[in-house]
């Protein structure tokens, strides 16, 4: 059973690493080619949603960053 949890945890870690690298690649492509895929615009819209939520949005953003660092 522990082996199954270790395998699932490893898969999730690998998927998270892949997605973060794809996000960085999308940002770089957006900077070089005038945001062809809309990644930078999407990040801006997401940050605007956090900003519109006020203190609750800031708290949610802090919790997400803290959770991701673990």
Identify the pLDDT of residue 70.
62
Identify the pLDDT of residue 66.
85
60 C-beta neighbours (distance < 10 Å), count = 13
What is the C-alpha to C-alpha distance for residues 61 and 26, in angstroms, rounded to an integer? 21
Identify the pLDDT of residue 11.
95
The closest of 47, 29, 48 to 38, measured between CA atoms, is 29
Query: pTM for this structure?
Result: 0.65
pLDDT in single tens digits along all 70 residues of the chain:
878 888 999 999 899 899 989 989 988 988 889 887 888 888 888 888 877 878 887 888 888 888 877 6
Q: Exposure string (b/e) for 22-43, b if CB count within 10 Å is 16 or more?
A: eeeebeeebeeeebeeebbeee
């Amino acid at each position: 059973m522990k082996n199954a949890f270790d395998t699932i945890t490893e898969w999730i870690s690998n998927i998270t690493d892949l997605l973060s690298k794809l996000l960085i690649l999308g940002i770089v492509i957006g900077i070089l080619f005038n945001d062809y895929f809309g990644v930078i615009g999407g990040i801006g819209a997401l940050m605007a949603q956090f900003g519109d939520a006020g203190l609750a949005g800031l708290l949610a953003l802090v919790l997400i960053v803290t959770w991701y660092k673990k």
